Amino acid sequence: MDRATEFAERYGALASRDARFDGQFIAGVHTTGIYCRPSCPAMTPKPGNVSFYRTAAAAHEAGLRACKRCQPDAVPGSPDWNLRDDLASRAMRLVHDGVVEREGVPGLAARLGYTARHVTRVLTAELGAGPLALARAHRAQTARSLLAATELPVADIAYAAGFGSLRQFNDTIAAVYRATPTELRALARRGTPTSDDAGTITLHLPARAPFDGPGLFRFFADHGIRGFEEGDDTRFARPLQLPGGRALIDVTLEPSGVVLRARLATLSDLPALTARVRRMFDLDADSVAIDAHLGRDPDLAPLVSAVPGIRIPGSASVDEALFRTLVGQQISVAAARTVLGRIVEHFGDFPTAAQLADRGHEVLRGPIARIAAIRGVADVIAAGDLPLDPATPVAELRARLLALPGVGPWTAEYLAMRALGHPDAFPATDLVLAQSAAALGIAPSPRPAWAPWRSYAALHLWRARP
């Protein structure tokens, strides 16, 4: 799409106040010096006074501040970072996970496999801002969410959002929002303050509509590990390992998204927590585009119509998802839950790769070859020879997994979908998927016309199991 066409489409969304595009881009109005979400109720500016940006950081770099009326960062994030697998998108996944705060730009670049200079150059060219500016914008958004939803003191919020000092925090809030933290808290709440139990953080995480929340929560409940996870159609709770320690999360469904309640080992884990929960619940997916695309297929159209807004059930971590998948191969979901429950009980938590490699034989059951395969994969991960994080390119993950003994195409595709949130994976050899496809009279194979949303096509076929 050329720039003129792209500008015309975005301006049309702005002029019609189309909320479907909130979070996908922002509009900078140079005559007022602010940037807004597309659905902002303010008067539509003239085309010559508007520039569109993919990120808030790019708007900040252009000297703009966030609109106090529409609060453009209080919306679901861009689906681009999960849809695409290019360098910029993988970098954004890590920025949201708090890698820049923990490891700096050199650490971000090392995870991506490039020099810091190259990463900065690519991000500036494609997103309008370098990694430091992107991280700064994300810190400001995290702080705004905490000011709106918690009773935490301002100093604690500055620390939780990743700021190095209270002065840096105050300066950033003033630059981005043209307000003090206290003023921003009052503005964001708009008369609806919330309170937390001591030690519990409560946040509302919006989802892009339509959102099949009950189906997503039911999936987590049906696959939950006994004694480790619990849930039903509207709630899911479990422990979660974060960079600073173990957290306990409790996620409940609400009409516009989910409510996250968490007890953290350290407040600095909050950006990583929110990023991972958003991925787990696929909150940023562009359901309107996905449903419209898949609904054009006459075989899938009835399924899409019956379940609009279907989402990919993500995972707490890539390595946990890998071991859960390996343990569950060739056995029923119920049997896998039992086996995994026994493993968690044995180790007192979900085991690390090193623990499985060293002591997996104490608790793993089944064919000797399968046990050896699981421990072999654990050995590779524990040695650092199989990097598993949100920045792992999907093609690289598939190739590395398929090179391991005991790992086949089904595992690689299933993990691309559930562990990385890849929208275009399709485990064609899956038995349930094959049964559903047969009942519909179609081949259990990924049709080219379903791309780039074949993961969601697979989810519809699973849901339609006869």
Q: What stretch of H or E contains 462?
A: helix 454-463
Contacts of 395 (CB under 8 A, 6+ apart): 85
Could you confirm whether 430 is annotated as catalytic? yes
Question: Omega of the bond prior to 38 within 30 degrees of 0, cis?
Answer: no
Residue 233 DSSP code: S
User: 2, 18, 36, 349: which is the annotated catalytic residue?
Assistant: 36
| C-alpha angle 92-321-295 in degrees, rounded to nearest 5 | 70
With CA atoms as reference, report the closest residue to 427 among 441, 443, 415: 415
**Omega within 30 of 0 (cis) for the link into 210:** yes
State how far the alpha carbon of 4 is from the alpha carbons of 9, 11, 51, 193, 288, in Å.
9, 10, 12, 43, 24
SS3 102: helix
**Residues 161, 157: Cα–Cα separation, whole Å:** 6
Residues 6+ apart with CB under 8 A from 349: 239, 246
Q: Quick one: DSSP state of residue 241?
A: E
Q: Which tokens is 352 given?
A: 């690390």
CB 142 within 8 A of CB 95: no
Residue from 73, 85, 424, 430 carrying the catalytic annotation: 430
Sheet containing strand 245-254, edge to edge, reads 201-206, 257-263, 245-254, 235-242, 230-231
Please say whether the beta carbons of 377 and 407 come within 8 A.
Answer: yes
Beta-strand relationship, 201-206 and 235-242: unpaired
Q: Three-state DSSP class for 311?
A: coil
SS (H, E, C) 263-306: ECCCHHHHHHHHHHHHHHCCCCCCHHHHHHHHCCCCCCHHHHHH
Known catalytic residues are: 36, 430
